[in-house]
Structure 1
């Protein structure tokens, strides 16, 4: 992401619009020039690279664009190291010990370096360079993986959009019917970044995810806003969505209208932003992929859908593995429990209980020792299906038919 001083945006009628770089010949030329500058700086000090970048930005009105692109190249595509196996901190420690033992003077500097060099098997010149080799400016550019120019532009645009969420205190996402595994990845990232989410809706009409931000929870801190910014690339993998965020106006900018009490930032899946997070896997396990393969071979009139339902639960959300849709449109959900860790099993079944849903079939591998894990399944009655090795779709459908009748769905 970008630091606050490199964020570029305008506010029109309370609506925040981040800076977007289009792949024009001029912008492509700038990215190519920056990439070449980094490539030619391999093996050189960071300070030397920064000097080269200052020369490039001299006289440019868009110097902040250049700095933003360079920041992304330095943080996402580069690696800086001290360039020595000897730890600079240990070198400084030995030098300071000698200096303390013998009052320093200009004449003695060379002697101190020579003594430390002798103990480490290096030259005084090497010791002199190593003294502060771990300072950022002294570190060497040891690796650079050049992106494609257009990929750098899209990453810059996303970083600008992410920066708009630094000061967000309310975030509402409307996610409509999506491709398999998208919802699961979305919820995984809310947990990863410590976001608190409330879910409403259903698979047919879509889901509304509401997240509270720093103002309502933590006062003026931007810690939660940073988490929301990190979450945005995960949202981009969801195929159909709209986002609305309420932001605190920035008072440190002279052009900001002091009468503004709130800004709004809006995004949709049609805005063209590109995620750099990995694509979600279609299946979480061989159990699920095998079940889906066997189901399709049946030629059943039922339709099998993957992970299209978010089941709101107090204190969490369940994303069943499959949705089984009857030809008349009624449906039941299927959760396959094949993971053995006790903590996981306890949490999984507790969430299922709290959901209060009676339209969920729970398929449990007999390899799991539920009794040892302290998990009881009596509450689920006939909705529990135990299986060995592979899960037979015929058994699942045999249970689904009467379950539809019971739920009156």
Structure 2
């Protein structure tokens, strides 16, 4: 992401619009030049890289763009302190020896020679190496040891996304409207919500859309920026969900001279159609071999039922259920949840949510290999909507239950 001072945006009628870079020849050329500059500085000190960047920046009106792109490339780089001896040990020895000498050029040379002899235990050190290691752990003295170069267009995409993420730094409310999506996409979304300490309340249905209202631990509310930072980190995960709209309420930045002092709230709007590109790894289509195997076997089964991966979010008190599949035949449909090999804590929460949902159109497929007794789980509450399986889940067993459940539900 980008620091606040590198964010570029405008505000029109209370709507915040972040700066985006068009993939023009000039912008792609600038991105390529910066990438090559970082590659050329591998093995050199950071201050040398900074000098090269300042040279590139000289006389440019779009210097904030250059600084923003360079900042992102820095995050793709690895810097380490040079030398074979820890700089803190070098400083300690040099300062200790310096106390016995009168400050002078000759004395400094003598100190470095003595320090080199004293520190040369596993590796022979020269006075020049001691001098180079003295402050090698300071940021500008660290060496660029690794750099993972992106393609120029990828860097521009990262810049655009970083600008959008920056709009969320001061967010205190975030509402997402999501329509039908693959369960793997929703599951990744909820995984990142939990990872970044954000809680979500889900309302709605598949026909009119699901509203996800993001909330956070009470400890986050003391600092709006910290809460907004968690939202910003979450945004790349949202981009993997295929159909959604986002609305964020922001605190206006009063530190900017051009901001209307009467503004009490800004709004940031984003949709899945805006063309932002995520750098987070996309989720797998299936969460497990159980799901992928079931889908493959179902495809070979002759049946009027259709197996869909786009499944409803099922809101329940205290959480949400994301069934693995939906079976559809005409106007009839049932949901399929596969419970495979999971920890006892997961099983308890899974079955608790299924009970709270009070949905009669959910088929629960349970592996006989699970130690449900140890987990304190009893699926008998779901009656004949339970399908037991051992090694593999047979689609015909699920279809038989689907016929019965669909008749009851309709």
Task: Give the shorter-chain TM-score range.
Answer: over 0.9
**Aligned residue in 1 for 2:71:** 71
Q: Are 2:220 and 2:226, in contact at CA under 8 Å, matched by a contact in 1?
A: no
* Stretch deviating more after TM superposition (303-312 or 260-269): 303-312
**Aligned residue in 2 for 1:61:** 61
Matched, 1:86 2:89: no
Q: Are 1:339 and 1:345, in contact at CA under 8 Å, matched by a contact in 2?
A: no
Matched, 1:223 2:207: no
Q: Flag the 1:212–1:180 CA change in 2: closer, same or farther, 3 A.
A: closer
The 5 Å alignment of 1:198-209 reads 198-209=201-212
SS at match of 2:53: helix
Match of 1:391 among 380, 390, 393: 393
CA deviations on 1:355-380 (whole Å, 9 max, x unpaired) are 22222221111111111222222322
SS at match of 1:170: strand
Q: Are 1:35 and 1:146, in contact at CA under 8 Å, matched by a contact in 2?
A: yes
Tell me the CA shift for residue 237 of structure 1.
1.1
Tell me the CA shift for residue 254 of structure 1.
0.5
| Partner Cα separation in structure 1 for residue 351 and residue 83 of structure 2 | 53
| Partner Cα separation in structure 1 for residue 139 and residue 89 of structure 2 | 17
The 5 Å alignment of 1:278-289 reads 278-289=281-292
Tell me the CA shift for residue 141 of structure 1.
1.1
The 5 Å alignment of 1:148-167 reads 148-167=151-170
Q: Flag the 1:118–1:197 CA change in 2: closer, same or farther, 3 A.
A: same
Match of 1:190 among 190, 193, 203: 193
Query: What stretches of structure 2 of length at least 5 have no aligned partner?
Result: none
CA-atom RMSD, angstroms? 2.0
| Partner Cα separation in structure 2 for residue 308 and residue 84 of structure 1 | 56
Q: Flag the 1:160–1:104 CA change in 2: closer, same or farther, 3 A.
A: farther
| Partner Cα separation in structure 2 for residue 271 and residue 184 of structure 1 | 22
Tell me the CA shift for residue 220 of structure 1.
3.9
**Aligned residue in 1 for 2:271:** 268
SS at match of 2:365: strand
**Aligned residue in 2 for 1:315:** 318
| Partner Cα separation in structure 2 for residue 112 and residue 346 of structure 1 | 67
**Aligned residue in 2 for 1:376:** 378
Query: What stretches of structure 1 of length at least 5 have no aligned partner?
Result: none
Tell me the CA shift for residue 214 of structure 1.
9.3
Q: Are 1:174 and 1:206, in contact at CA under 8 Å, matched by a contact in 2?
A: yes
**Aligned residue in 1 for 2:102:** 105
The 5 Å alignment of 1:225-304 reads 225-304=228-307
| Partner Cα separation in structure 2 for residue 248 and residue 103 of structure 1 | 58
SS at match of 2:249: strand
Tell me the CA shift for residue 286 of structure 1.
0.9
* Stretch deviating more after TM superposition (115-124 or 54-63): 115-124
CA deviations on 1:134-168 (whole Å, 9 max, x unpaired) are 11100111122222111111110110011001111
* Stretch deviating more after TM superposition (343-352 or 292-301): 343-352
Q: Are 2:189 and 2:237, in contact at CA under 8 Å, matched by a contact in 1?
A: yes
SS at match of 1:298: coil
